[in-house]
Structure 1
């Protein structure tokens, strides 16, 4: 399967952000891949969002370790009116999930945009 197919079909990507002390915070997240960027819905109070606000450097890895796909980028937090095309892509991929609906206690919904700065692995283990 090609990387583009996996980015459209794989359900989870591991997102690694950096805490204030520089230690990694790794979590699996749902995502859409649009316009050469990963898009991730989250609550504004989640650790990953706080980490990105303090240090936008992130890594992302699809789950299949036999055919690794790993990228790096600088995340941006989008607040307020969320992009309808991203919300529609997340809803289509995750059976009607409303990525814009607030979930207590995580606060207002935001979108993390991670344009790929570079691909570290593109489907071949090294």
Structure 2
């Protein structure tokens, strides 16, 4: 399913994954979109990464308080940062030079590639 390249000027979205007991685990994330996928960069040690390794289903809410909220359900796949320099560059462009692959503060990094299965609210078009 297509994903808008520009999901708005929002700097963050809310990513919800499923904990081991099935309860929701919601965290704010920085993201970029490339027209095919939505990408999140995070630490390999993050709870969301462990949750998605066990169960790749998720929901993502962008601009939930604005005039045009967008909410999607989908699935995530873990990707190596060094295999996607274009995505790392997109993060740097959006977030004032931030290096999404830099392990200095939170340890080794990983990209989460989100494929949207269904737009629950908003979306392309």
TM-score category of the 2 structures, normalised to the smaller one: 0.7 to 0.9
Deviations 1:89-117 (A, max 9, x none): 0000000000000144x431100000111
Aligned residues: 120
Deviation at 1:68, TM superposition (A): 2.0
Instruction: Using structure 2 for the length normalisation, give the TM-score.
Output: 0.87
Q: Which residue of 1 aligns with 2:93?
A: 92
CA distance in 1 between counterparts of 2:61 and 2:110 reads 21
Gaps of 5+ in 1: none
Gaps of 5+ in 2: none
Q: Which residue of 2 aligns with 1:40?
A: 40
CA distance in 2 between counterparts of 1:64 and 1:35 reads 20
How big is the alpha-carbon RMSD for the aligned residues of Structure 1 and Structure 2? Answer: 1.9
Deviation at 1:58, TM superposition (A): 0.4
CA distance in 2 between counterparts of 1:113 and 1:48 reads 13
Q: Is the 8 A contact 1:82 1:110 kept in 2?
A: no
Instruction: Using structure 1 for the length normalisation, give the TM-score.
Output: 0.86
